[in-house]
Amino acid sequence: MLGDRGYGRTSLKDIAAEAGVTPALIYHYFDSKEDLLLSVIAEMQQVLHRRVDAAGATAADPLEAIARRVDRAAAEFTAQPGINRMLLDLYGLGLTQPAIRERGREMLELGIRRQAAAIERFYAAAGVPPGAPPEDLAGVIVAAFDGIAISAAVRGVDADPMYRALKLLLMSAALVPLAAAGEPLPLERLTRLMS
Residue-wise pLDDT tens digits, 148-181: 988 887 888 989 999 999 999 988 888 877 777 7
Handedness of CA 91, 95, 96, 101 (dihedral sign): positive
End-to-end Cα distance, the chain: 35
Residue-wise pLDDT tens digits, 104-156: 899 889 999 999 998 898 888 778 888 789 999 999 999 999 889 888 878 88
Does the pTM of the predicted model rise above 0.85? no
- Give the dihedral of Cα atoms 132, 136, 139, 144; nearest 10 deg: -40
Helix (H, G, I), strand (E, B) or coil at 76: helix
Distance CA 19, CA 50 (A): 26
